[in-house]
Copies of this chain bind each other. A is one copy, B any other.
Amino acid sequence: MPVETIRWVGRLDGWVELVDQTLLPGEFTYVTCETPEQVWEAIRALRVRGAPAIGIAAAMGLVLGVRDSEARDFDAFMADLIQVRDCLATSRPTAVNLFWALQRMERTARDNADLPIPELKQRLLDEALRILEEDKDTCRRIGRRGAELLRDGDTVLTHCNAGGLATADYGTAVAVLFAAKEQGKHVRAFADETRPLLQGARLTTWELRQAGIPVTLICDSTAAQVMKEGRVSAVVVGADRIAANGDTANKIGTYGLSVLAREHGIPFYVAAPASTFDLSLRHGSEIPIEQRDAEEVTRWGGRATAPDGIEVYNPAFDVTPAKNITAIITERGVIREPNAEKIARLLGGGQ
């Protein structure tokens, strides 16, 4: 079931390998990154995508960027690190896990300021690998907690890809289905194709089929119809950033699904690790939303699907207000009817 999305090969002089998700489902290929610039490009071009996976990639990218640093003292080393960090931070603006991982790496460096530089470099690689390993565990916890919300025979509608490919290997929203199956429940899925880049059609269907979970692909605009037909037990999606009050940024289309789910009396769940919360933002309106290229919408496979030069509005994400969210499923617990107080209480235990 798990797909190894990203890995570090070798020791400190090794490299990063990640599944090039732009080629799926046609081709399952790992690309190699040996520099932070290559990691930056892989994030930017969505070869690696999904908030937790972006965080892991950024942490590893930071290691690639500082391991050859010729700094002889800590301050010089940190100057190099900050430069790499600042570059990687520009790859994508919305998923907070990117910034969370970079901050964690920076803190690790500062906490070990007294180490000789070579040992500090090794400590940073260890930390990046720890982020990877923790993600595996985190996702399994999310899956198990979420699966408790599903009954035998349920059908889950999901959007975009919050599967193994969006994380180290097990997923968040899709992990809920994986875990439900492992618990012996018969569950099914509807996968929104998720325009413009079709992560649902290309990635989620592929993962679910590999896991032996029956999946039906639908156009994004068909979601309302399958809800109306009474065929959806729950909507489960991932998240790219969650504000302190529970407002959640996720792939464009998620907000509309939350409205439709409420209209049809269907529970709407967000599944995400604690690292997706950004307590520095009080409301979802403060979350920066990435605007992507018009060509994602106007071309497919090299062929124009709209008149040349037509104006396009192509936000990569939207924000679902907390009031539309039945519960947020994290590795630390499930927050029903999320609000600032409940979120602070759950995360207060040691984020």
State the A residues within 8 Å of B (CB): 25-26, 190, 192-196, 198, 201-202, 205-206, 209, 214-226, 228, 252-253, 255-256, 259-260, 263, 297-298, 300-307, 310-315, 318
Minimum CB distance partner of A264 in chain B: B259
Q: Are B221 and A220 within 8 A (Cβ)?
A: yes
Q: CB-CB < 8 A to A305: which residues of B?
A: 193, 198, 201-202, 300
A–B pairs, 29, beta carbons within 8 Å: A25-B304, A25-B307, A193-B195, A193-B297, A193-B306, A195-B220, A195-B221, A196-B219, A198-B305, A205-B306, A205-B310, A214-B311, A216-B313, A217-B298, A217-B306, A217-B312, A218-B314, A221-B252, A222-B253, A222-B313, A224-B253, A225-B255, A225-B318, A226-B313, A228-B255, A256-B256, A259-B260, A263-B263, A301-B303
Q: Is the CB of A297 within 8 A of B201?
A: yes
User: Judging by beta carbons under 8 Å apart, are B297 and A221 in contact?
Assistant: no
Q: Which of B26, B193, B214, B310 contacts A217 (CB 8 A)?
A: B310
Contact of A307 among B205, B216, B314 (CB under 8 A): B205
The CA of A157 and the CA of B320, in the complex, are separated in Å by 21
Cβ B25 vs Cβ A222 within 8 A = no
Q: Which of B218, B306, B315 contacts A25 (CB 8 A)?
A: B306
Contact status B224-A304, CB under 8 Å: no
Q: How far is the CA of A220 from the CA of B195 in the complex (A)?
A: 8
Name the prevailing secondary structure of the A interface residues.
Answer: mixed
Q: Which of A217, A252, A253, A314 has the most CB of B within 10 A?
A: A217
Looking at the assembled complex, report how far the CB atom of A317 sits from the nearest CB atom of chain B, in whole angstroms.
9
> What distance in Å separates the Cβ of A173 from its nearest Cβ neighbour in chain B?
16
Q: Are B311 and A215 in contact (CB under 8 A)?
A: yes
State the Cβ distance, A285 to closest chain B Cβ, in Å: 11
Name the B residues within 8 Å of A252 (CB-CB).
Answer: 219, 221-222, 225
Residue numbers in B under 8 Å from A301 (CB-CB) = 300-303
| 10 more A-B residue pairs beyond the given contacts A218-B312, A222-B314, A260-B260, with a C-beta to C-beta distance below 8 A | A195-B220, A198-B306, A201-B297, A201-B298, A209-B307, A214-B311, A217-B297, A217-B311, A219-B297, A259-B260
In angstroms, Cα B122 to Cα A20, docked, is 63
Q: Which 3 A-B pairs have CB atoms at the shortest separation, nearest pair first?
A: A221-B253, A224-B256, A201-B306
With contacts A193-B195, A195-B219 taken as known, whether A255 is within 8 angstroms of B297 at the C-beta atoms is no
